Chain A
Amino acid sequence: MAENSRPRSSAPSDPSTPSRRSDPSDRPVSTARMVWTLYASRIRSQASFRTSFVSDSLGQVLIVGTEFLELWVILSQVSTLGGMTLPQVAVVYGLGALAFGIGDMLFGEIDGLSSYIKSGRLETLLIRPVPLLLQISSLDLSLRRIGRIVVGLAMYVTALGIAGFQPTPMLLMLAVLAPLAGAVLFGALFTMAGALQFWLVDGREFANAFTYGGNYVATTPGAVFALPMRAFFTFVIPATLIAYAPTLVLLDLPGPALIPSWAGWLGLPAAVLVWIVAGLLWRSGVRRYTGAGG
C-alpha cells in the first residue's frame, strides 16, 4: 500500500517481521467488525440524545398498547375474532409487533431514501467502498423502536403461556424462529419500499401502504380478511405468514381456507424469496440512479 512507502509509518515497526503478523493492530478490519463499527456508531450517536430517546421509546410503547386495546375492545363484544380467543389473538399481535419492531429498527427509515437523493447525500455514500444498503441501514437505525420490540416480546411470551402453548423441541424452535423470520421479511418489505423511491421521489406514502399495511395485516388473525385480501397478503405480500400462520402451528389450531396450518413454517422461505425480489429491485434502483439502465 501507498503508506508503507512513507518513512513515518514504517519506522516504528517492520511489517515483515513474523512476530508482528499476529499483532491485531496489523490485521485489516474484518467484514463483521466493519458492520459492527457502522451500527455501533449509530447507536452511540442516538445515545447522545438521551431524553428524546426515552420519550420516543415510550411513545412506541403507547402506540403498541393502543393498537392492542383496539383488538381487546372488539373481543369484548364478540367471543372470537377470526376464530381466535383473546389470548390467541394476543399471541398473533405480540409476534407481529415483535417482528415488525426488529425489521423497523433495522430498515424502517429506508423509505426516507428520497431525502438522501434530494439533498445529494446519496452521492457521498456512493463513493465509499461499502454496499449502499448497509450504509443506509446503519445510518438510519432507530433505537427508539426498542419500545415496540420490548412490548411485543413481553406480549408474545405472556400470551403463549396463557393460550396454553405445549412446547415440543420443534415448536420451540418455531417460536424462536418466527419473529426472526418475520423481522427479515419486514426488512425486505422496507427495502422494497425504499427502492421504489428511486422511481417515485416522494413516494414514501405509497410505499408505506405496504410496510405499515403489512404490519396491520400481520398483527391481525388472517381469517378475518375476505378471501381475495387474504390471498394477496399471503401470496403477494406474505404478511399473514409472519404471525398468524406460525401461531396456528404453535397453538395447534386449524387454518382457514388458503392458509393451511403448515403454512406456519413458510415464514423463512417466504422471507428469502421476498429478499431476492427486494435485492433485485434495490439494485435496479441504484442503476437507475446512476443512469446505468435497468
Chain B
Amino acid sequence: MNTPQQITPDQHAPEPSEPLEPALELSGLRRDYVVRAPVPGSRRRRRQVVRAVDDISLSIRPGEAVGFVGANGAGKSTTIKMMTGILTPTGGSLRVLGREPVAERKQLAREIGVVFGQRSQLWWDLPLRDSYTILGAMHRLTDRQRDARLERLVDGLDLGAFLGRPVRQLSLGQRMRGEVAAALLHSPQLVVLDEPTIGLDMVSKEGLRRFLREDRAERGTTLFLTTHDMNDVERLCDRIVVVNSGTVAYDGPLDSFRAHLGAPRELVVDLAEPAAALSLPGSAETAAVEADGIRHRIRFSGAELTVPALLSAIGAQVEVRDLSLTEPAIEDLVREIYGRSGLA
C-alpha cells in the first residue's frame, strides 16, 4: 500500500493533532445482482446471481486523488453507485465522509459532487445558467455563495460564451464542462467523476483536466475518478487502483505503477526510405520493423520522453513521411498487470 505523501505543493498538510478519518473507507465490499436468464428450450427463466463487486477494500485519505480503473464490467460503476447511496452493498461495509451512503443519501448528496459522464444532470430545455440556479436552490446555497462559486466555475471552465443557451443545443464538450460545473457548484468535499472525458476531443479533455487540478489545489478536495483514458489518471491522480472482475488488482502510487509497467506508449513512423533499427533516446525501444524497413514501431514511456523529443531524435537520422501514436489502453495495462502477478 502507499505511504502518506503530499498531494500538491499548495495544499495544506492536515494538522497532526486532528484525527484523520478517511474520506472513503470500503472494506470487503461486495455486490450481487440477480438476473433472470432465459433457459434455452424452456419458457422458464433461471435465477442467476452475478457478482459485480467482490471484496473491494480501499481507504482513501481526505485530499487524495485516486484513479479507479478497469475494463468494462470490472465493477467500477457498481462501486460508485454504492459510494453515492444509489445501491446497497450485498456484503461488506463502506463509509463515505463518515456517513452511511444509503441511509444518509440526501445528507451525503450535499457533501459530494458526482459527474456521470454518460448521463446528463442538467435541465435540457433551459439555458445552462438556469441549471445552476436550480441546483443552488436544491443545495440551499445563499445567493452570494452561489454567485461567487459560479463566477469561479464560469471562469475556470470557460462557460461564459454559452451560459444563456439551452442545454440541448450545446456541443458535447460544452455540455460536459457544464456537467462538471453542476457537480462542483456546492463546493463538495468529495468529487466523484465517472468517465468525465468520454467522447471529448483532446482540447476539451485538457481544459477540463486543467480546471479539475486547479480546483482541487484551491479547495483540497478528495477526487475519485473512473476513466478509460490513462491520460486522465496521469494528469489528475496520484494513486491508481485497478479493478478486475470486481476485486482490486493493483493499488499504489501512480509513479510506481508506471515504473512497473515500463513503456506503454507506441509511436508508429513510416519512413521515406527503408532503414534498419534506429538509435533511440532513453528507454525508447524498437518493438518491430515492418514493410521492409519502412514502418517502425517504437515503444516508449510518456513519463520520461515527450513525443517531440523522440521525433526530433528520429528526424535527425531519417526522413519521416507519416506517423501515428497509440496510447496505452487501460485494458492492456490490466492485462499486463496480470502477466506480472507479483505486483498485485
Interface residues of A (CB under 8 A from B): 1-3, 5-6, 8-9, 13, 23-29, 33-34, 37-38, 41, 44-46, 48-49, 119-121, 123-124, 126-131, 290-293
Contact = CB atoms under 8 A, between A and B. Distances in A.
B331 interface: no
Contacts of A8: 148, 152
Nearest to B84: A127
B137 A34 contact: yes
A260 to B, nearest CB: 44
Contacts of B137: 29, 33-34, 37-38
Given A8-B148, A41-B134, A290 B88 contact: yes
Contact of A3 (B109, B120, B123, B148): B148
B87 A291 contact: yes
Interface residues of B, number: 47
B87 A290 contact: yes
A2 B190 CA distance: 12
Contacts of B81: 123
A290 B218 contact: no
A130 B106 contact: yes
Interface in B113-165: 114, 116, 118-121, 123-126, 130, 133-145, 147-149, 152
Contacts of A292: 88, 102
B67 interface: no
A49 B112 CA distance: 34
A263 to B, nearest CB: 39
B105 A126 contact: yes
B134 A290 contact: no
Contact of B134 (A6, A37, A120, A293): A37
Contacts, number: 115
The dominant DSSP class at the A interface is helix
Given A29-B141, A41-B133, A129-B138, 6 more contacts: A28-B140, A33-B137, A37-B133, A45-B123, A123-B116, A292-B88
A131 B187 CA distance: 21
A5 B187 CA distance: 11
Contacts of A38: 134, 137-138
Contact of B187 (A1, A49, A130): A1
A45 B142 contact: no
A29 B145 contact: no
3 A-B pairs with least C-beta separation: A45-B125, A9-B148, A25-B143
Interface of B: 81, 84-88, 90, 102, 105-107, 109-110, 112, 114, 116, 118-121, 123-126, 130, 133-145, 147-149, 152, 166, 187, 189, 218-219
Contacts of B110: 129
A128 B121 CA distance: 10
B12 to A, nearest CB: 10
A242 to B, nearest CB: 33
Contact of A129 (B86, B106, B118, B189): B106
A65 B12 CA distance: 69
A291 B114 contact: no
A37 B137 CA distance: 7
Contact of B126 (A33, A44, A126, A290): A44
Contacts of A127: 84-86, 105, 109, 112, 114
Best-surrounded residue of B86, B102, B147 (most CB of chain A within 10 A): B86
B120 to A, nearest CB: 7
B138 A26 contact: no
A262 B218 CA distance: 67
Contacts of B109: 127-129
A34 B148 contact: no
Contacts of A44: 126, 130
A24 B148 contact: no
